[in-house]
Amino acid sequence: MRPTKMLAGLAALGLTISLAACGGSDSDSGDTASDSGGGTIKIGIKFDQPGLGLKNSDGSYSGFDVDMAKYIAEGLGYSEDDIEWVEAVSANRETFLENGTVDMILATYSITDERKQKVDFAGPYYIAGQDLLVTADNTDITGPDTLDGKKLCSVTGSTSAQKVKDTYSTNVQLQEFDSYSKCVEALLGGQIDALTTDDIILAGYAQQYPGELKVVGQPFSEERYGVGLPKGSEDRDKINDLIEASFADGAWEKAFDDNLGESGYTLPDPPAVDRY
């Protein structure tokens, strides 16, 4: 069940306290402010994922990850005008956090033990499952066990590509591009048979191409999306507080409904936030 109205009311009060603790100015907003020079915050997002992280033709940004990033930034003392959006493709996310290109990343970024050796995570703020996207008229592919002999696309550096290599590599022709949008173009053009990544990402593409693409609907993994942070970040606990507040005050649900509410994909329960 989603949070009750009573819980939302109580948490809204808690959010007010949390935001006061986080500070309403750059000087109070922890190491993120100092890392970004005190006036702006650099946030890595995807630019090509409809419903999640998308750079629109007018130069604006939209999506579930974008709205969550705005919420978190505001809680850390930044207005929307203070945010500098940076494109973070799957293969460069750890590098961007390690070298200071960005202060945080919300880019369908799965929390893994391997990645935690290099970066820190707040969250998770969402749990997705790996699935398959196919053309609407495809009846051959019904799950990962029907991929033999098929051409499958994913993105270099993603956990989805690695899982296919490790688990479903027999007779699967895996093609990797540097963005999911290129996989979608190949799928629409008939160069590949299926695209694999997390179901919520695929739902965004299915919503973008109604009647042309569909999600198979047989998830075969658990992907825990976190906010990527530089190793040793002092903002981790603050961001965890803000993520939990978004669950309770309705902001998390609104971010989903505003961006993916018409995709046919059902919003799951909020996940438990890690406090490692």
User: Count H helices, E strands: the chain?
Assistant: 10, 13
Which part of the chain has CATH 3.40.190.10?
A: 5-128+224-260, 130-215
Token pair listed for 11: 């948490």
CA nearest to 276, candidates 69, 124, 55:
124
pTM, two decimal places:
0.75
Pairing of strands 119-128, 223-230: antiparallel
Residues 6 or more apart from 83 whose CB is under 8 A from it?
A: 40, 41, 42, 43, 69, 70, 73
Give the integer Cα–Cα distance in Å for 73 and 35: 14
DSSP labels for 158-185?
-HHHHHHHHHS-TT-EEEEESSHHHHHH
Task: pLDDT tens for the chain, 276 residues: list them.
Answer: 444 433 444 344 344 434 333 443 343 334 444 444 459 999 999 998 899 999 999 999 999 999 999 999 999 999 999 999 999 988 899 999 999 999 999 999 999 999 999 999 999 999 999 999 999 999 999 998 899 889 999 888 777 877 777 787 668 888 989 888 899 999 999 999 999 988 998 989 988 898 899 999 888 888 899 999 999 999 999 999 999 999 999 999 999 999 988 777 788 899 999 987
Q: What is residue 259's DSSP assignment?
A: H
The topology (CATH level 3) of 130-215 is D-Maltodextrin-Binding Protein; domain 2 (3.40.190)
Among 3.40.50.1980, 3.40.190.10, 3.30.450.20, 1.20.200.10, name the CATH number for the domain at 5-128+224-260: 3.40.190.10
End-to-end Cα distance, the chain: 26
